[in-house]
Chains A and B, each alone.
Chain A
Amino acid sequence: MNVPEGLFYTKEHEWVKIDGNLAKIGISDHAQHELGDITFVELPALHAPCEQFKQIATIESVKAASDVYAPLSGKISAVNNEVVANPELVNQSPYEQGWLLVIEITEESQLANLMDAEAYKNYLKENM
């Protein structure tokens, strides 16, 4: 499974790319692989508030519906409408074109609750 360096990860298999006070969010390669063919993505409204580890979006595959959780608190500053129109982008390019949304973060200290690439790799090894 592809686990790029430089990103943060959650136990629920979201990834986070930090750029100043903006956090771009998606699901990991492992997550897209486990879900299988993704058929539907529901994203939150722009400017909606979000809270760390609370549900923020929904992804459905042929197999099942799954929740996506906010890795960090803040408010939604961008959503990727491309994945709403073409949900298969999440399978094809989970870290690039398949990004889901951007959060303007309010509590940088919450990053301590996330894993770096190495920790996430170990987490996958231990839990799979």
Chain B
Amino acid sequence: MPIQYEGIINEHQWTRNNCSVFDICHMGEFMIQADALLSNLDKVLTQNLVNMPLKTCKYGFMLNDNAGIIDDVIIYRIEQDKWMLVVNAATAPADFEHIKKHLAKDNVKIDNVSNSLAKLDLQGPLSREVLVEIAGEGILNLDYYGFDYFSVLGENIIISRTGYTGEMGFELYINNDKVIDLWNLLLENKNVKPAGLGARDTLRLEVCYPLYGQDISLKTSPLEAGLASFMDMKKDFMGKAAIEKKQQQGLGKKLCCFQTESRRAPRHDYEILVNNQKAGIVTSGSYSPSLGCGIGMGYIAEQYSDIGTEISLEHENIKINAQVVKRPFYKKGSLRG
């Protein structure tokens, strides 16, 4: 997937106002046939699988015993005992081994279909009407984080109402040999343009979605990342004991959002200072095309993490004034229609 086609800012604005298609074929997908409880799959993931309605998705985590995030995933419940997990590309091989290691051996089937299943994201306020033309009126029945099978190009493909932009949007899973046809079909609609990784990053940052490997990693837990709501503390899961311990001890740092006073952007690994004291580190940063200023996320020592705190972002001879603000940066997304 290229960084950009006609330019990050144009692609970003087009997605916010119209509809873009993103080539996300690099993501990993696992198909799992398993009873959630008997197989231990429910224990590997922080979300409660048992109470998930069929044809719905959930965003959650796989944690290690120290509550470090092995990966953030989207769980699809296809049938009572049939699941699809969508994982990050770089972590897919390790994720697969981790799940296999902890799943029961009997009555369980797990396939890494990452190399044969392709994924396109269609995102933007016009994405629903674009997709109705291609996949039919059934698209209108998809609620946020719902999915179903649709007949497209003679194939039965999964389409979910999910995404990474904060806009109304869908993710389409199709076999590799048909993905180019699907890409071309989507682009036949004049409201649809291709968008690259650059716009994907500015779009997700404006709505404060974390990026694995930057904002969350094995060194952080969902607690300090502000993502506790994606763990079900009423059930048992790997890493839960460490999460409970952290809750008692306090976190030390928190993932915060900040906005700069100028067009200058914070960047990954810039230092965060408060009153000339080192207070944290930037994990993601960019110029925000929607806000016209620099925005970023980073871990800040808890005592400096209050909304409104004046901070300084520094790197070599660069010094940027910024303020801790409420998430998300961009509040006008068409996400929920």
Contacts and interface: CB of A to CB of B under 8 A. Distances in A.
Q: Do A and B come from one complex?
A: yes
Contact of B318 (A39, A58, A87): A58
Contacts of A60: 263-265, 287
A40 B8 contact: no
A40 B294 CA distance: 10
Interface in B7-39: 7-10
Nearest to B202: A62
B263 A40 contact: yes
A7 B7 CA distance: 27
Given A36-B4, A39-B263, A87-B263, A63 B318 contact: no
Nearest to B263: A40
B3 interface: yes
A61 B294 CA distance: 11
B318 A40 contact: no
A65 B267 contact: yes
B263 A63 contact: no
A119 interface: no
Interface string A53-71: 0000010111111000000
Contacts of A62: 8-9, 198, 202, 265, 286-287, 289
Contacts of B287: 39-40, 60-62
Given A37-B10, A39-B287, A62-B9, 17 more contacts: A36-B3, A36-B4, A36-B198, A39-B263, A39-B265, A40-B262, A40-B263, A40-B264, A42-B264, A58-B318, A60-B263, A62-B8, A63-B3, A63-B198, A64-B267, A65-B265, A65-B318
10 contacts: A36-B8, A37-B7, A37-B8, A39-B9, A39-B263, A39-B265, A40-B263, A62-B289, A63-B8, A63-B198
List of 4 A-B pairs having minimum Cβ-Cβ separation, nearest first: A39-B287, A37-B9, A62-B8, A40-B263
